[in-house]
């Protein structure tokens, strides 16, 4: 399947007028909706880890965009839409989590050789569940309706907010959240993974906003983007280990007869501690 990564944004604003946030919304949201539908269709036909990964990314970006436009949208409806994107991303994530565990253990071939067939079978079961959930949800209809509803609400609003002003305000709000979470994580106990996970989520949201609004923001953001890439890489590898360890523990009974799960858990525990130290070290330098 040929998947396009970029689509031309629609622009209904005259060239001599500064665009408003309300009129610009669809140019951000429509390509994301198209991508999400594209990958939702792809996972029905193809079981590749990359399609599930890209579907989750598309849904997370949609959730971040709806958060960005939260001040301009009905609060209740906005909350419901963001919950929907999270639900769909979680459905895709049930398969993606197995992919991550399998990929991690493939790097340590000697430690999980006996587990591999059982992990692949468990991944197949998760795939069937993910596909059923996404099919029953009718992703295309839900996302198209969410886009239409939000666009209609924004286009009929009496007030207009300059896009540049709005974008800078929302990015600033996201930056404040990230700084607070980084401060909390710096003072958290090494065992408090939640504090580190909150940094990762806040950093990811800010990076998405910078990608959305980059051309209309005041000042350069190269340093910020570089820092966010560092956070995502370092904290992402930590999250992979923690999620894999939880998945293995939650399915201990299923995997008990398939190999030495204790050895795998010991390796994951060791990796978690190492990557926690690495993440904490990065925080001290930022």
Shared-domain flag, residues 195 and 81: no
Q: Which two tokens stand for residue 228?
A: 């966010």
pLDDT at 190: 78
Shared-domain flag, residues 184 and 157: no
**How many domains does the structure of the chain reveal?**
2
Shared-domain flag, residues 107 and 237: no
Is residue 5 situated within a structural domain? Answer: no
- Burial (CB count <10 Å: 0-12, 13-18, 19+), residue 108: middle
pLDDT at 251: 87
Convert the pLDDT of each residue in 218-231 to its tens digit: 887 888 999 999 99
Q: How far apart are CA 42 and CA 55, in angstroms?
A: 9
Shared-domain flag, residues 178 and 284: yes
Position 259 confidence tier, pLDDT thresholds 50, 70, 90: low
Shared-domain flag, residues 150 and 222: no
Is residue 56 situated within a structural domain? Answer: yes
Kindly report the pTM of this predicted structure: 0.87
Q: Which of 126, 146, 161 is the last residue of a domain?
A: 161
Shared-domain flag, residues 243 and 277: yes
Q: Which of 137, 161, 185 is the last residue of a domain?
A: 161
- Residue 2: pLDDT over 50: no
Convert the pLDDT of each residue in 125-147 to its tens digit: 999 999 999 999 999 999 999 99
**Alpha carbon distances (Å) from 276 to 47, 68, 259:** 32, 30, 27
Q: Which of 107, 128, 161 is the last residue of a domain?
A: 161
CATH assignment at residue 114: 1.20.120
Shared-domain flag, residues 178 and 257: yes
Convert the pLDDT of each residue in 44-100 to its tens digit: 887 788 888 999 999 999 999 999 999 999 999 999 999 999 999 999 999 999 999
Shared-domain flag, residues 140 and 217: no
Shared-domain flag, residues 114 and 215: no
Is residue 31 situated within a structural domain? Answer: yes
Q: Which two tokens stand for residue 169?
A: 């305000």
Shared-domain flag, residues 181 and 147: no
Is residue 131 situated within a structural domain? Answer: yes
Q: Write out the residue range of the structural domain in which residue 270 sits.
A: 162-286
Is residue 6 situated within a structural domain? Answer: no
Shared-domain flag, residues 168 and 265: yes
Which residues contact residue 31 at a Cβ distance below 8 angstroms, ignoring those fewer than 6 apart? 6, 7, 9
Position 17 confidence tier, pLDDT thresholds 50, 70, 90: low
What is the overall mean pLDDT for the chain? 88
């Amino acid at each position: 399947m040929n998947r396009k990564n970029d689509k031309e944004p629609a622009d209904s604003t005259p060239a001599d007028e500064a665009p408003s946030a309300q009129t610009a919304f669809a140019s951000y949201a429509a390509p994301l909706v198209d991508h999400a539908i594209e990958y939702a269709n792809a996972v029905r036909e193809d079981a590749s880890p990359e399609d599930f990964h890209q579907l989750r990314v598309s849904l997370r970006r949609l959730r971040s965009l709806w958060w960005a436009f939260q001040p301009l949208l009905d609060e209740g409806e906005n909350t419901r839409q963001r919950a929907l994107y999270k639900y769909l991303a979680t459905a895709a994530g049930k398969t993606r989590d197995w992919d991550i565990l399998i990929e991690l253990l493939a790097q340590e071939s000697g430690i999980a050789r006996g587990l591999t067939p059982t992990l692949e079978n468990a991944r197949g079961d998760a795939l069937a569940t993910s596909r059923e959930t996404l099919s029953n949800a009718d992703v295309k209809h839900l996302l198209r309706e969410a886009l239409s509803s939000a666009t209609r609400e924004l286009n009929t609003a009496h007030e207009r907010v300059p896009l540049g002003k709005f974008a800078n305000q929302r990015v600033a709000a996201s930056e404040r959240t990230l700084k607070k979470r980084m401060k909390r994580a710096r003072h958290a106990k090494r065992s408090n993974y939640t504090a580190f996970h909150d940094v990762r989520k806040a950093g990811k949201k800010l990076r998405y906003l910078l990608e959305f609004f980059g051309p209309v923001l005041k000042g350069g953001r190269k340093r910020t983007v570089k820092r966010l890439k560092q956070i995502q890489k370092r904290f992402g590898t930590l999250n992979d280990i923690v999620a894999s360890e939880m998945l293995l523990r939650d399915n201990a009974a299923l995997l008990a007869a398939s190999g030495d799960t204790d050895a795998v858990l010991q390796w994951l525990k060791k990796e978690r501690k190492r990557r926690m130290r690495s993440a904490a070290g990065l925080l001290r330098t930022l």
